[in-house]
Structure 1
């Protein structure tokens, strides 16, 4: 019996399920503890729902100690869902995720028929503050199909059995796309007709006709959608995908002779219809291909009506198209309208990050300057002069605040911080959930922030950027180091990834004088077990070099959703080798949110523009560096 009071602090599992549009499917879950023992589900029920339109409840049942949940056909797109465990009057979120639905067209299954999607195991942690983990099960589809789940399983077996045999047949028999369609249409039609006629010719001939028809016809199967036509250019692969949905292996034909006539008639009808649809689709695709204007060897293209596009014309130069009087002004107004709308949409997804001026603390040879300072907006620090034979060191701890409307979770996916310095400097910030320990008065190679509570397990991160080398007159630029401290549950301890970066800038673009911003963005939430790299760190320069935006690290990033601003503290460590005072600056930043569907357009824009300055990456177990000055 599951005791829900022990689940109070657990985070639900996060899982994306890939499926095909308008295909009803069922998914199996096994609940275990950390030792692999299956959880007793007696007295436990489950409920769930798809949260995006069209809204629908998941069909849930428990059979043989397994949780089965199914859904009806969904349109293409990303649809979030929740699955809850219910005991008495108490319920707990078990799984949160999304159905990722491809837009491939599938013939519908029979009424109340479901296809198998996959199976997974949910591993419950031993303590009350962990996260439920997802492990894909190695269960075979036939094993899963052998267990009936109400209306889920009756016809699922036949949806799976003969895909590989059909693909081998097509690859061996077909050389060209046009020949595939002709061959499939003729063969399936003739097999269907001969199958119908064979019913009257005797039992043995009927059995043979069933087997032949079974190799070339009937209903859609789950894996067929994965091989559907994606483009005419994909030639043979597209042909295989088009024919695959027509196939179902009639494994039990000899044991069902009494049903032969009905099966053969159905197979013939469906085969003829499917072959006709395939031929029509192929014809339409070929006509569309032929309608595309062709580019000659010189890069020129002639369009219908006499318009000629020369190879020298490109999007950067633009094409001047004569319009009637008044049209240019009207068109320009419309374009400005849409451009303003896009700018407004981006601004709506960005929130400010301010400096909590009253809580800033300093240590060592650094002090809060009175000039260049505006409370909450910008803060200048003075780094003292070096004494004879000794450099001056100092640290500033800067708490960050700002509006971050949210409840349990925040959809933060990135931020930017305005920073610069005339002294050599290290910039450290902690991101994500979990406590952090701030430290000052250490050498530049030490860690100024480490995971808190004696390196207790959490899913936050620490990132630092160090600029402490002189200008390289041979390579013409500066070397920079980025370190990322993160926890990976699959290895059971903290790790650190060190990235070496080289910025190719001129000798008049001093660093870190030319630094303007550090920008962190991620494309989506990574898994908790693997922590694949979903984020990146960028550096924006303000000097006169040809390139001003550089990618300086690939990072793991926030898992799922976070609380608060996502970044709460910035620490600046500075070293002054001069005999006069230098400075370091911090200013307001921005906090970025996901758009619908957990997408971050800013990440993709920066990835497209930035120059990748990464030279090497190395990941090792985390060992603390804590060396006082």
Structure 2
């Protein structure tokens, strides 16, 4: 049946069966503008002065307040059905189910905006910031127990909080820096990671710094001081059985460009056996952004409490310099059981200076506690991270002939 329409007018079609709506052109040709698969109510915009509706029993009613233009409903929108929209603008909407926004949600929130929504969002953001701060715990250097080899002096410029070490030309040292002061640490500590502020001036060939931590408790370990860049600061005692503890080691060095290496020495499997997981990166920086001297901190944290050997944690390098890539993912490592995590970690550093000497700056680590069973850290770092990982390998641990510093 033919229905007279107003050009550009919006109409509601109520049909009793599947039908089509066709516009009638000036040359009497037809253009299909709507195909209704089943009985129901649909909408269309008339492009001309008449349309042809295939359902003789259908009702066509002009809509006085139409939906926003740009919304296409070839098959209509029905209760319980699905619809795909390219663009949607609405004054208000209510949803009874989950709203998924895979491309993200943009909320324009101008500073100083005098609206309820802006106020709520600012208050919420401030509350989240306070929540994050409350779940960080400072540690403090046990200055009387901090040691350095090769006659190097540790200058505790701000005792307990900040120290620095000066190295002469081609000098090296092994530092041992225990901490204390964590409040409310317990068996189930919810310690999901560590933030370690450090900086090492240097960028010449042969310059490197290695940061080592034993995360977790148990196991039998042998410590080797001044063992060089490739030597382990800690190795399992020969023939000993693996336990919860693992060695996590991060090395930054210069060799035909800036590089990093992360090694995780850990017992896995049943029965457990030690393996070494090594991740290497070629850091994409020039001399204006030395990953040693431009580093702010290392962040070692897991996404959530882990009782398995899955790769549930990440090592990041946070840095400044003349680059926009300031969050660098260095490696995936295994998560840990926080029941066995030390509330007073000890930091082990091995440092080698170049021909012009060097300086190491260190603040005491911050412990990153879980909010519930999760950590907020990865949600803040992952959107900004870059990675230049060149190799990942995991092999059974073999007792090496430990290299020496010479």
* TM-score, normalised relative to structure 1: 0.46
**Pairing 1:280-319 to 2, within 5 Å after superposition:** 284-286=79-81, 289=82, 294-295=85-86, 300-303=87-90, 318=108
Residue 377 (structure 1) aligns with: 161
Q: Does 1:449 align with 2:224?
A: no
* Structure with the largest fraction of strand: 2
1:610 corresponds, among 385, 390, 396, to 385
The answer to whether the 8 Å contact 2:190/2:370 transfers is yes
The answer to whether the 8 Å contact 2:241/2:272 transfers is no
Q: Distance in 1 between matches of 2:311 and 2:162?
A: 32
Residue 199 (structure 2) aligns with: 420
Change (3 A) 1:527 1:589: closer
Residue 187 (structure 1) aligns with: none
Q: Give the secondary-structure state (helix, strand or coil) at the position aligned to 1:358.
A: helix
The answer to whether the 8 Å contact 1:367/1:383 transfers is no
Q: Distance in 2 between matches of 1:569 and 1:438?
A: 13
Residue 277 (structure 1) aligns with: none
* TM-score, normalised relative to structure 2: 0.69
2:289 corresponds, among 509, 513, 519, to 509
The answer to whether the 8 Å contact 1:497/1:619 transfers is yes
Q: Does 1:541 align with 2:316?
A: no
Shift, 1:384, TM fit: 2.2
**Pairing 1:166-315 to 2, within 5 Å after superposition:** 284-286=79-81, 289=82, 294-295=85-86, 300-303=87-90
Change (3 A) 1:492 1:338: closer
Q: Distance in 2 between matches of 1:454 and 1:375?
A: 40
Shift, 1:433, TM fit: 1.6
Change (3 A) 1:508 1:351: same
Q: Does 1:429 align with 2:213?
A: yes
Q: Distance in 2 between matches of 1:303 and 1:335?
A: 20
Residue 345 (structure 2) aligns with: 568
Q: Give the secondary-structure state (helix, strand or coil) at the position aligned to 1:342.
A: helix
Q: Distance in 2 between matches of 1:568 and 1:438?
A: 16
The answer to whether the 8 Å contact 1:495/1:622 transfers is yes
2:148 corresponds, among 362, 371, 382, to 362
The answer to whether the 8 Å contact 1:366/1:396 transfers is no
Change (3 A) 1:509 1:405: same
1:396 corresponds, among 175, 192, 201, to 175
The answer to whether the 8 Å contact 2:191/2:338 transfers is no
Residue 553 (structure 1) aligns with: 331
Shift, 1:302, TM fit: 4.5
The answer to whether the 8 Å contact 1:365/1:393 transfers is no
**Pairing 1:572-587 to 2, within 5 Å after superposition:** 572-578=349-355, 580-587=356-363
Residue 106 (structure 1) aligns with: none
Change (3 A) 1:470 1:581: same
Residue 308 (structure 1) aligns with: none
Change (3 A) 1:302 1:350: closer
Gaps of 5+ in 2: 1-36, 39-77, 93-103, 203-207
Residue 9 (structure 2) aligns with: none
CA RMSD, 1 decimal: 2.9
Q: Give the secondary-structure state (helix, strand or coil) at the position aligned to 2:140.
A: strand
Aligned length in residues: 312
2:375 corresponds, among 600, 610, 618, to 600
Change (3 A) 1:366 1:511: farther
Q: Give the secondary-structure state (helix, strand or coil) at the position aligned to 2:149.
A: strand
Q: Deviations over 1:305-340 (max 9, x none)?
A: 9xxxxxxxx9669488xxxxx982655443322221
2:268 corresponds, among 488, 507, 512, to 488
Q: Distance in 2 between matches of 1:450 and 1:497?
A: 14
